[in-house]
Structure 1
Amino acid sequence: MRHVWTMITAIVVAPLAWLLLAYGQDRTLQAFANEESTGALATGAFVWPAVCLAAAGLLLGLIATLRVSPLGAVLTGLAYTASYLALLVDPDAVLGLFPKSLSLAGRSVDPTMPLRTGGALLLGALLLIGIASVGRWRRWPTPAVAEAEPDIEVTQPEDRPLGVDGLGFAAEPTPASTASLARAFDRAGRP
């Protein structure tokens, strides 16, 4: 079922991202063309193209980074890449598959713009390469389960001082403790 939902997402997102990409690229090229006639670039001319290109990138990034199923990224990547590579066989037939212009929000859009600029091949290849990334196939980290340890009750006096004094070691060895240590070494057979 996860493959079906990813495929449905790709069927909706891929054409929408294509149109947003076409609109953003077309308006960007028009802003640069207007600069030649007016002599200056208008900063306001890049606002909507930037929004559309960012939205297209976010939508394609959504498909590319889904950890549920790679099917959507495969389908979108293959469609984008194949549409551009088909230009190598018969460019006129490929461009003839697209309408001459579409109207979005009262503005005409050239839907062949991702093919004309090469953006379709670039994004298609990125989607296909994203499938091969190692991080995509890693499982989500699971919390480590603590091994069951035997219940050992440790009691410590509350008034134990901190530092060496609290460990119960004397500052200097007493003759009695030195003699008992020597006897322990002798029993073990060590010099």
Structure 2
Amino acid sequence: MIIHTLGPQETDSNDAAQYYIQHNALSKAQIVLSASYTDIINALPQYQNDFLLIPTAFKSVALNLTWGELHYQYLDQLELKDCFIHRLNPLVMIEHCQRKSGIAYSHPATAKLLAAKVHPQQMYYSASKYLAYQQYLHDGQYTLTNEKNIVLSSEEKIIARYEPQMIWSLYQIKGL
């Protein structure tokens, strides 16, 4: 069994894939991490009979697609096989108090949550919350990311912290 999901290893998607494998005693399963779900979706014909693990909070700016739209648009290529609940790593909203750039970095699925709290002048979307934090380190004033990925400096503060549950969907890729 090969499970395609979002990488790098620091992502909630990788954690959920690891959880699924352990919880279902799938010792021979392999996780393949991609830079974005867009990359996986665009390569579905190459992954026939493999699996796709994706959160129901999925949202792609590049594909202009949410999880619900993906579910229906790809009925011919994806067959829903399983769903499960697995908690995300705690999320934190961070402000770099010395930067007044007005720039925020976020995964598209969490961007509205971030924007509702901080009202950034510019929002840049990242393929993962981990990548959003990496980009924020360069010039961002705000980000929403996983708590486990951060190292706070004296110039930063946590604005909010969340511990959400997530529903994960496992699809078998039918190909074409």
What band does the TM-score fall into relative to the shorter chain?
Answer: under 0.3
Q: Say which structure is richer in helix.
A: 1
Q: TM-score, normalised by structure 2?
A: 0.23
Structure with larger Rg: 1
Q: TM-score, normalised by structure 1?
A: 0.22
Q: Say which structure is richer in strand.
A: 2
